[in-house]
Each structure stands twice: as structure tokens, then as C-alpha cells.
Amino acid sequence: MAHPSASLPNDIHILNGTNDLTMSNGKHVIAIYNPTASQVTVDLTGAIVNYNSSAYQQNDSEVAGIPIPSGGTIYGRFTNVGCTTANVICYVN
């Protein structure tokens, strides 16, 4: 079994507010933190499950407009993160 530290973030990326952060080579954004004074919205692609009609289903396309309150963090396994607000912090593993 791998040591627990293997699941900790290896890098952080501070978004500039104009470019998406797209991961490759098996890397994922595992947490997105909003250090700004106001709510931001992010567009995410990755391990997202939505409720459609009568069941939960994997959504492989981008999900737009997910809110993160000031000081809030969301967790997951995302391959692409977009945000129009600068200084949002993405933790990558």
C-alpha cells in the first residue's frame, strides 16, 4: 500500500483569470480554493456526476457555473478548470 503522503497535492497553480488549467499525463486538480473576498464560479471537466431524470450519471463534458463562496474549497478529480477570476488556487496531484 502506498504511503498516505502520495495522495497529497504535488503542485499548486494560481489561476490568472483568463486561461483554463488543463491537466495531462494522469495529473488531476484535486482541490480548488477561493481566497478572494467574493464568490467565484468555475467551469469544471472531470469526475462529475449529475442527476438526470431518474438516476445519477457520469458527466464527461464541462459543467459550467459551479459557485465557490469566499474562503471555500471544492474537492474532486478534475482534468480542466476554468475561472474568470484571478488568484483562485488549484491543488494538483
Cα–Cα distance between 5 and 42 in angstroms, integer? 27
The answer, yes or no, to whether residue 7 has pLDDT greater than 80, is no
Predicted confidence (pLDDT) per residue in 31-81, tens digit? 999 999 999 999 999 988 888 888 999 888 899 999 999 999 999 999 999
**In the prediction, which pLDDT does 50 show?**
86
Q: Which residues pair with 11 in a beta bridge?
A: 92
**In the prediction, which pLDDT does 58 show?**
87
Predicted confidence (pLDDT) per residue in 10-38, tens digit? 899 999 999 999 999 989 999 999 999 99
The 10 Å Cβ neighbour count of residue 48 is: 17
**In the prediction, which pLDDT does 41 show?**
96
Cα–Cα distance between 92 and 47 in angstroms, integer? 14
Beta strands in 1-93 (DSSP E): 11-14, 21-22, 29-33, 40-46, 48-52, 55-59, 63-68, 73-83, 89-92
